[in-house]
Amino acid sequence: MKKTIAWFLLLAVTTTALAQNDVPQTVQTADGQTLRLVWNDEFSGTGLPNPEKWGYEHGFVRNWEKQFYTRERLENVFQKEGKLVIQSLKENYEENGQKAEITSASVTTEGKAAWTYGRIEVCAKLPTGRGAWPAIWMLGTNIRQIGWPRCGEIDIMEYVGFNPTQIHATVHASNHGKHTSKGFWTRLPGVENRFAVYAVEWSEDKMDFFVDDQCYFTFKKTDLEIDPWPFDKPHYLILNTAVGGSWGGQKGIDDAAFPMTYEIDYVRVYQK
Residues noted as catalytic: 153, 158
Q: What is the DSSP string of 167-221?
A: EEEEEEEEETTEEEEEEEEEE-TTGGGS-EEEEEEE-SSEEEEEETTEEEEEEET
- Round to whole Å and give the CA distance between 152 and 205: 15
Give just the sign of the alpha carbon dihedral 121, 163, 64, 233.
positive
Q: β-pairing, 153-158 with 132-140?
A: antiparallel
Pick from 235, 269, 209: nearest CA to 151: 235
